[in-house]
Amino acid sequence: MAYDLKIVGGEIVDGTGAARYRGDVGIKDGKVVALGKAPDTAERTIDAGGQVVAPGFVDIHTHYDAQVLWDPMLTISPWHGVTTVVVGNCGFGIAPTRPEHRGLILRTLERVEAMSLAALEAGIGPDWPFVTFPEYMDAVAARPLGINVAVMLGHTPLRLSVMGEEATERAARPDEIATMKRLAAEAMEVGAVGFATSVSKVHIGYGGRPVPSRLAGFDEMLEIADAVGRSGHGIIQYNVGRDPRWEEYEALHAKSGRPLVWTALLAGSLGPNSHRPQLARAGEQIARGLPIYPQGACRPIQIEFDFHSPVVFDTWASFAAAREAPDDASRRAVYADPAFRARVKRQADGRGPDDDVFMGKELEGDTRRAAFWTYVITKAKDPSLVERELVDVARERGKHSVDLMLDLALEDLDTRVRASQLNFVENEVREIIKDPNVVIGLGDGGAHLSQLCDACYSTHLLGHWVREDGALTLEQAVHRLTGATAALFGLIDRGRLAVGLPADIVVFDPATVGASPLERVNDLPAGADRLIAHPRGIQAVIVNGRPLPPPGQVPDRPSGRLLRQRRTA
C-alpha cells in the first residue's frame, strides 16, 4: 500500500519500556500500519536519522477546561511533544455549570488557578455552548482540536451546579448527594475518564472561601466514587495537597474498584526527605495489589507573583491582612504597616507561627521559610535588580529582606518575584522520579499562566533527567510519559507505537531535546499575559497521522479528538 506518511531511519522507542531499535514507521488513515520495516512509498516522508521516534506524550494533569474553547491547539503542550491531555484535574472543571453560576465558577478559577478573569470572560464569551456535562463534552468534540482531549468530571462545578453558592459553605444534604451521584453517572456514561476532587488547604476560591470540594463530607466522595465504579471505567484523581490520606485512598478505591492517583508527592512538602516515608507507604499499598499511585513532578515548583495578588503567601499566617485587603489601596496600606512587617519578619525568621498549610509541624514550616531566602526579583522599577536574589539586594542596602520586598511592592505593585516553593532539592526529586510507582505529571497546563509554566515538563524530563543527569534511561522516561500514563487513565489505544493504533507520534533529537527558559507574552484573550517555554529538539509532532505545524501556527486540518472512555470491565 502507499502510506500517507512515512518516518524513516529513526530510533524507535515504543512506549512500553522495551529497548529502542532502528526502524521505519508507516502511517495510513491516521493509524500505524507498518513498524520496523515500512517498504512502501509515501505521500510524505520524514527523515528521522539520529532522532528518536516515540509515542506522543500523554499529559494527565492539565487545566485546559476553559482554554480549549478559545485555543483548541491547547498551547503550549503540543510544542513539547504532547498529543493527549487530560483536563478536569483537582476538580476544577467548568461543567456542569448553570447560567446563574458562570460568574462564580470563573471567579473561582481566577482565584484558585490564577487564571485571568478578563481572559476567561473574553475567551469563553457571553454565550456558553453548554450547561450540562454531556453538552460540554459535545462542545469540546465540536472544536477543531489540535491534539486529543480526555475529560474528568470536576467536583467543584458538580457541587456548584447542585448546591449553588452554598457549595462553598456547607456539607451536602442526602438528596443533594443523590443528585451529584446521578450527574456523575451521567458524566461517566458520556465518556468522562474519571472524577477529580481536592481537599488541599491551598485551594482557596472566590472571596477567600475554600473551593466547594473542600466542604464535601467523605460520605459524599464515596457516593460519587460508587458512581464511577458502576460505570466500569475511569479513575479517581484526589488532590490532598501536602497531607497524605492513606486510609481514604483505600476507601475510595474499595468503593469504586477503580485506580486512584493522588496529588502530590513533592520534595520538601513535609520537610527535608519527607518523600521517603511517603514512597515507602505508597509502595506498600501497591505491593498489596492496590492501584493507588502518587503523582509527582520533575521540575521545581516555582511561582512568579506580583503584589496585587501575592499568592505564595496564602499559607503564611502573618500575611492574612494582605490576603484579606479588598483592593490595591488597602493592600498598599498593609504593606506599609510596621506591625504587619514585624509579623512577616518573625515568620520569615522562624520566630512566628508555623505556616498554616503545614499543620503546625516545625520541619514543614522550615521548608517554606528556607525557600523565602531564595526568592528572585524578576521585575522591578530598577531594572538592575532583575534576576537578583532578594537577600543579596537587602544585604547591600542594609535592610531585612522582608522590608526590601515590601518597599519594592510599594514602589510598584507590578513588581514580580520568583519563588521556589517545593521540589527544588535535586537529590530528593531524583529519588522521587526514579521510583516506578510515581506517576510523573503536574504540568498544570492552562493554569497559573502568569505565574508558572510547567507544561514543558516532558522535554525537561528528557533533557535534564535523561541526558544530563542520567536518572532515567530514555526508554524509562518515554514509558513514563506515554504508555504508563495512558494505561493508568484507561486510554488503551494511546501511549504506544504498535500496528493498528492511532499514529500519535513525536520525533525528537535526544542530544538537544529540552525546554527553553521561560518568557512572558501577552497572547491570551483580552491581552492577558502568560509565561511560556519554547521547545528544543522537537522535530515533528503527529496527531492521528497528521503532522502539526511549527509552534504558533494552526493546522489546515486539525486532527485532535475528544477521547470518550467507555466501559472496559
Higher pLDDT, 314 or 124: 124
Query: Is residue 486 over pLDDT 70?
Result: yes
Question: 3-state secondary structure string, 172-201?
Answer: CCHHHHHHHHHHHHHHHHCCCCEEEEECCC
| Closest C-alpha among 221, 299, 276, 280 to residue 253 | 221
Residue 41: which pLDDT band, with cuts at 50, 70 and 90?
very high
Total residues found in the chain within this entry: 569
Predicted confidence (pLDDT) per residue in 421-466, tens digit: 889 999 999 999 999 999 999 999 999 999 999 999 999 999 999 9
Contact yes or no for 463/514 (Cβ under 8 A): yes
CA-to-CA distance for 500 and 493, rounded, in angstroms? 9
Which set of grid coordinates corresponds to residue 9? 531511519
The predicted model gives 203-215 an average pLDDT of: 89
What's the burial of 8, exposed, middle or buried (CB within 10 Å: 0-12/13-18/19+)? middle
pTM, whole model, 2 decimals?
A: 0.94
Q: What is the pLDDT of residue 127?
A: 94
Query: Is residue 323 over pLDDT 90?
Result: no
DSSP string over 56-69:
PEEE--B--TTGGG
DSSP letter (8 states) at residue 315: G
Residue 567: which pLDDT band, with cuts at 50, 70 and 90?
low
Spell out the residues 6+ positions from residue 122 whose beta carbon is closer than 8 angstroms to its own: 70, 525, 526
CA-to-CA distance for 544 and 28, rounded, in angstroms? 10
Quote the mean pLDDT of the chain.
Answer: 94
What's the burial of 222, exposed, middle or buried (CB within 10 Å: 0-12/13-18/19+)? middle
Q: What is the pLDDT of residue 569?
A: 37
Which set of grid coordinates corresponds to residue 194? 474519571
What's the burial of 536, exposed, middle or buried (CB within 10 Å: 0-12/13-18/19+)? middle
Name 148's bridge partners. Answer: 84
Which set of grid coordinates corresponds to residue 162? 447542585
Please tell me whether residue 427 adopts helix, strand or coil conformation.
helix
Count Cβ neighbours within 10 Å for each residue of 253-263 and write b for 16 or more, e otherwise: bebbebbbbbb
Predicted confidence (pLDDT) per residue in 504-554, tens digit: 999 999 999 999 999 999 999 999 999 999 999 999 999 999 999 999 899
| Closest C-alpha among 221, 215, 274 to residue 243 | 274
The predicted model gives 302-324 an average pLDDT of: 89
Q: What is the pLDDT of residue 366?
A: 63
What's the burial of 19, exposed, middle or buried (CB within 10 Å: 0-12/13-18/19+)? exposed
Q: What are phi and psi of 206, to 5 degrees?
A: -55, 135
Top-level class of domain 55-300+424-547: alpha beta
Which set of grid coordinates corresponds to residue 534? 519554547
CA angle 509, 12, 50 (to 5 degrees): 35
- CATH 3.20.20.140 domain residues, the chain: 55-300+424-547
Enumerate the H helices of 113-215 as residue ranges.
117-124, 133-141, 155-163, 174-189
Which residue type occupies 475? Answer: E
